[in-house]
Chains A and B, each alone.
Chain A
Amino acid sequence: MPPLAIRRSAAAHAIARNIGLVLVIFLLLFSIFLYGLIYGLTEGRLPGGFELTSTVNNTMPLVLAAMAQTLVVLTRGLDLSVGGVVDLANALGAISLGATPARMALASAFILLAGAGLGLVNGLLVAYGRLQPILVTLATLSIYQGLAIRILPQPGGAVPEGYTALLTNTTFPAALLYVVLLGLFWTAFRRSQAGIAIVAIGNDEGAAAANGINPLRAKLLAYTLSGFFAAAAGLFLVATATAGDATTGNGYTLTSIVAVVLGGVSLFGGRGSAIGAILGAFVTTMIVNILFFAHIDPLYQSFYEGAFLVIAVVLAEGLGRFVRGRR
């Protein structure tokens, strides 16, 4: 037979396959380097344990939101309601987290389930209603935000200290443990029937169906899990802020998409990994940190953030093409 497929080493295949992941690791290392440089120049010393802890703690909500977004983007959808679910979880957390551990656990579990339920609503409308994901989640974003404001009209409420300490320890980067756990969860999920089904329908829904995969069920699961992780992001947010605010979550819709794109997950579905998106979340935080220590006027912050993002994405795309062209 003529050569059908060039044989390559397992490592070469792994790199070609995970090129997005390789790129985001480079991006993260570069932004950490830049951050260290600017921090050193302005503060006269290198960033240490405290900076690491606060960075990880501040990024946790985005890490979870990126996880949520990845699951939906892999199905070739988009979940704009992530910010709304974060708001709702935030508001619910502020009013329901009591003083005792049992009460905290109960309230947390309820909020996570509520998030999953909100995601399920999205999933039902997209899968069984056969509606456009953007349309559905744009509508539910407004609805969920409205509900959050109704629950917590003014910023306030109280988060017990124990809860904050458990999720976001300020002296030790304990939250890194959660990041690792999320990475492990993703690795296992990607190897499960359900995970494979989600990636498969993002590849080609018709082909997946011809292979006996139920696309509707896979979508339903992706949106439900997305709601669950977005709610977890809201809980982390309320824990770091130590009080609730029903509007701080709004930004997570866009930043979660940014993290996903930086992490090499294709917006066309079927390609990419949540680990990339998690690293993308950290890159996003590092950009904000760099701007802060470079003493950029906060008024212009979003201008520079945008500029940095465009450069990063163009760079990633160019490098990706270069590597693909070489093989």
Chain B
Amino acid sequence: MSAAPSLEAITASKAYGGVQALDNASFSALPGEVHALVGENGAGKSTLIKVLGGRVRPDSGTLRIDGAKVVLAGPNDAHLLGCWTVFQELTLLPWMSVAENLLLRREPRNVLGLTSPRRLVAAAEGVLEKFGITEIDPRALIEDLSLAARQVIEIVRALSHEPRILLLDEPTSALMERETAWLFAQIRRLRATGTTIVFTSHRWHEVETIADRITVFRGGRDVGSFTTLAEEEAVTLMTGQRVETFYPPLPAAPSARADAMLSVADLAGGRLAGVSFTLHQGEILGVGGLAGHGHRELFLMLFGAERPHAGRILLRGREVRLRSPRGAIRNGIALVPEDRKTEGLLLPLSVRDNLTLAVLNRLSRFGVIGRAAERAQAARLMARLAIRAPNAAIPVGTLSGGNQQKVLLGRWLLADCPILLFYDVTRGVDVATKHEIYELMMELARSGSAILFYSSDALELAHLAHRVLVLREGRIVAELPARDLTAEQIVAAAMRERLAA
């Protein structure tokens, strides 16, 4: 293509504390181009997006928009140049309505400069309709929306500004297939009008589907731009090495006589309409199905964070009532959630504090924490899990997403919980870290842990579980054995009714 780039970053650098997030990185995108940024977590993609969107000022380097050198003092400066960003950590206001959020700072006003709820809702209906969204109530509070709906709102807000440059940082990580298809339709429409679109994703098939050009990042640097790139090549570039077998071999399935660690009978509540199953020692039991069909409720109930309306939970044949996560942990049940920022980690505290949080009792004497023992435990875990952090005292919040997830895994590893609930743990996690998490799961199963494993990625379930339960409308509609299981079978079971209809 001969067109001049509409967006350029030239030798941009940015450091956070001791971590060099961007290291002389260069990037350029053309008008009417969909440009994918790929790389591991911590490779600098998000930082680059923030720099391009005016959210973060680079320590050094030059930005050009439409060939002219620009200095962005804040998001407003970028907006004035027609450059809008959908940030990975959403920027919606939780206790305000969808309408207020969509139209923030451009509310329809009367002569006195005042807006009104009615005007806001009417205008927001118009905006949502324009982009084909009819399911979301503009009066609803953001707090009451699912993560997917929030992501859609964040995207609609950026689209409604008719951007000339649109930056999307992992827009699909919270989206299901239909919403992703919707987003891609919007991206194609914008591309046709000459808009520059930059996006990041950890899902390779998405990159293949929509990107005109791919730039690979590693260690804060751009390592190449391509118009076509095979997945294996991309992985090699991203990690700097070849990943031989992506899915590690599954340990042998537990025998029929293996101990039943966890049994659930007719458990119901919220969207869960009564499920029964048994999880054995050394087993990885997959749970699949479309989002919003009761998975979340099931996991929260088993972790004591939500109360069931009916049904029983048995641990090694003994009925228990789980009234709180504390109670669940005491019974040897640990949850590794999807949204680690809000559900698991104390971000301002250090890696070490987060690792040892669940076992402080064991490390303490008369209520005083034994610092030497704590240090030793944390150091061992950081080495074992290959947590990439400058040191154990650095706040967890400064680490990349994949490394945060590893810290959370490490905490439960240390706590020796025999029953592990993995809820979509690899979402938004890069390839290399995913692989490490898989290996760890296998190791845990081999050493006798029982793992209940939900994933929104059916491929993962097909490769990593001894059997897979498929939930639809709060019930188990299929139990699929691991032998020759494919992702398509899981998806088909989850949607059978729709396909038949």
Contacts and interface: CB of A to CB of B under 8 A. Distances in A.
A212 interface: yes
B105 A5 contact: no
Given A203-B94, A207-B92, A271-B95, A5 B75 contact: no
Contacts of A156: none
Nearest to B78: A212
A271 B95 CA distance: 6
Given A1-B178, A212-B79, A207 B114 contact: no
B90 A196 contact: no
A270 interface: yes
B272 to A, nearest CB: 16
Interface stretch (B58-66, B131-139, B233-241, B387-395): B131-139
B113 A193 contact: yes
A270 B95 contact: yes
Given A13-B140, A271-B95, A3 B135 contact: yes
Contact of A2 (B92, B112, B291): B291
A188 B93 contact: no
Interface stretch (B29-37, B142-150, B211-219, B443-451): B142-150
Given A13-B139, A212-B76, A4 B145 contact: yes
B96 interface: yes
Contacts of A270: 93-96
Given A196-B104, A210-B75, A211-B105, A6 B137 contact: yes
Interface in B59-116: 74-76, 79, 87, 90-98, 100, 104-105, 107, 112-116
B104 A211 contact: yes
B12 to A, nearest CB: 20
Contacts, number: 99
A2 B290 contact: yes
Interface string A1-29: 11111111010010011000000000000
Given A16-B141, A193-B113, A212-B74, A4 B135 contact: yes
A3 B140 CA distance: 13
B148 A4 contact: yes
Nearest to A7: B137
B90 A207 contact: yes
B249 interface: no
Nearest to A9: B139
A1 B94 contact: no
Contacts of B113: 192-193
B55 interface: yes
- Most chain B CB within 10 A, of A1, A16, A188, A206, is at A1
Nearest to B120: A191
A240 B115 CA distance: 37
A212 B115 contact: no
In this complex, the member of B96, B135, B152 whose beta carbon has the largest number of chain A beta carbons within 10 angstroms is B96
Contacts of A191: 114-116
B96 A5 contact: no
A196 B136 contact: no
B72 to A, nearest CB: 12
Interface string A278-318: 00000000000000000000000000000000000000000
A271 B91 CA distance: 17
A173 to B, nearest CB: 29
Contact of A207 (B93, B139, B146, B176): B93
Nearest to A12: B139
A212 B152 contact: no
B498 to A, nearest CB: 11
A175 interface: no
B208 interface: no
Best-surrounded residue of A3, A13, A213 (most CB of chain B within 10 A)? A13
B43 to A, nearest CB: 22
Contacts of B74: 209, 212
Nearest to B98: A5
A5 B136 contact: yes
A5 B137 CA distance: 6
Nearest to A266: B95
Contacts of B87: 210
Given A212-B74, A212-B79, A1 B182 contact: yes
B179 interface: yes
A17 to B, nearest CB: 7
Contact of B96 (A188, A199, A206, A212): A199
Contacts of A199: 96
Given A199-B96, A212-B76, A4 B149 contact: yes
Contact of B179 (A1, A16, A196, A208): A1
A1 B137 CA distance: 14
Contacts of A3: 135, 292
A61 to B, nearest CB: 28
Contact of A200 (B75, B104, B135, B141): B104
B114 A188 contact: yes
Given A192-B113, A192-B114, A212 B75 contact: yes
Contacts of B92: 207
Contacts of A1: 135, 176, 178-179, 182
Nearest to A271: B95
Interface string B432-458: 000000000000000000000000000
Contact of B152 (A4, A196, A200, A210): A4
Interface of B: 55, 74-76, 79, 87, 90-98, 100, 104-105, 107, 112-116, 121, 135-137, 139-141, 144-146, 148-149, 152, 176, 178-179, 182, 290-292
Given A5-B137, A270-B94, 10 more contacts: A3-B292, A4-B149, A6-B137, A6-B140, A8-B137, A13-B137, A204-B93, A207-B93, A210-B91, A212-B76
Interface of A: 1-8, 10, 13, 16-17, 188, 191-193, 196, 199-200, 203-204, 206-213, 266, 270-271
List 7 A-B pairs, minimum CB-CB distance, nearest first: A203-B93, A4-B149, A210-B91, A207-B91, A13-B139, A191-B114, A4-B135
29 contacts: A2-B148, A2-B176, A2-B290, A4-B136, A4-B148, A5-B98, A5-B136, A5-B145, A7-B137, A10-B121, A13-B140, A17-B141, A191-B116, A193-B107, A196-B100, A196-B105, A196-B107, A200-B96, A200-B104, A204-B91, A207-B92, A207-B93, A209-B74, A210-B87, A211-B104, A212-B105, A213-B104, A213-B105, A270-B94
